[in-house]
């Protein structure tokens, strides 16, 4: 089965359609599938729902799809760094399903494991719990959260082999692993594709069974908020 594709456009060919639910890895601008997001923008598909920790910034990450009005709904835990995201939400142009960060990761993981739902205490007594089933366990109230079963998962990794085994670099692993597992189809972009058998099995973070297509590319790796200090005087 061919898994390695020449570029993001080729890797997404035959997959994209209007109204899809897409799970996207990344945290802020760390480990985001920037090449695949650009290809989605260029494809022109619309009415998309994204399950992602956040939407990047105004001109990078999912933010580029908000600018072109291709996103109908966000399932996210954080919106603070994207002014256009906040503007569209507050003006009623964008649907938003606020989900606590740990709950979002678990909803993705649950979908990847075939679990339709689970109970959690997180969000009980807040707007998060409105409209959700409540149940008591050992005298404590929990709410039912549904697993995320995405039509497509897009992730960014450090290395891959031809079979789709992935290795992430440090904190760039973040939401990429659970996002990858919950998609019916998973497309990964990586910095390097190495020969089959060259990855240490103990260092593989995501087995290739979850990954259907892989591309290699150059990445900008933009820093969301650059913080520096003055050089100390001698």
The H-or-E segment that residue 85 falls in is: helix 83-90
Whether pLDDT at 16 is above 70: yes
pLDDT (average), residues 197-211: 97
pLDDT tens per residue across span 17-38: 999 999 999 998 999 999 999 9
pTM of this prediction? 0.93
Tokens of 206: 């995501």
pLDDT band of 233, cuts 50, 70, 90: low
pLDDT band of 157, cuts 50, 70, 90: very high
The H-or-E segment that residue 137 falls in is: strand 134-137
CA trace torsion 172, 7, 220, 212 (10° rounding) = -10
Tokens of 61: 């990450």
Whether pLDDT at 210 is above 90: yes
Whether pLDDT at 122 is above 70: yes
Whether pLDDT at 232 is above 80: no
Whether pLDDT at 234 is above 80: no
pLDDT (average), residues 205-212: 98
Check residues 165 and 229 and name the one with the higher pLDDT: 165
d(CA 175, CA 168): 11
d(CA 21, CA 6): 24
Whether pLDDT at 7 is above 80: yes
Predicted local confidence at residue 78, as pLDDT: 87
pLDDT (average), residues 120-142: 97
Question: Would you say 168 and 205 are in contact if contact means Cβ atoms under 8 Å apart?
Answer: yes
% of the chain surpassing 70 pLDDT = 99
% of the chain surpassing 90 pLDDT = 87
Predicted local confidence at residue 20, as pLDDT: 98
């Amino acid at each position: 089965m061919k898994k390695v594709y020449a570029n993001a456009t080729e890797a997404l060919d035959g997959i994209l359609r209007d109204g899809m639910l897409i799970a996207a890895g990344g945290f802020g601008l760390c480990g985001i599938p920037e090449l695949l997001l650009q290809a989605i923008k260029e494809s022109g598909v619309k009415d998309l729902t994204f399950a992602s920790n956040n939407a990047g910034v105004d001109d990078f990450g999912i933010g580029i799809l908000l600018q072109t009005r291709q996103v109908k709904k966000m399932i996210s835990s954080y919106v603070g760094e994207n002014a256009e995201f906040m503007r569209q939400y507050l003006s009623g142009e964008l649907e938003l399903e606020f989900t606590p960060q740990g709950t979002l990761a678990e909803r993705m993981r649950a979908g990847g494991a075939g679990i339709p739902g689970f109970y959690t205490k997180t969000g009980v007594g807040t707007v998060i719990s409105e409209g959700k089933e409540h149940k008591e366990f050992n005298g404590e109230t929990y709410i039912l959260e549904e697993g995320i079963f995405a039509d497509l998962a897009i992730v960014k990794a450090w290395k891959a082999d031809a079979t789709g085994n992935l290795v992430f670099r440090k904190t760039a692993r973040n939401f990429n692993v659970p996002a990858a597992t919950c998609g019916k189809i998973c497309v990964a972009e990586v910095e390097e594709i190495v020969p089959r058998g060259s990855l240490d099995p103990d260092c593989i973070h995501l087995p290739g069974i979850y990954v259907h297509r892989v591309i290699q590319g150059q990445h900008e790796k933009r820093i969301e908020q650059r913080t520096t200090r003055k050089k100390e005087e001698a």
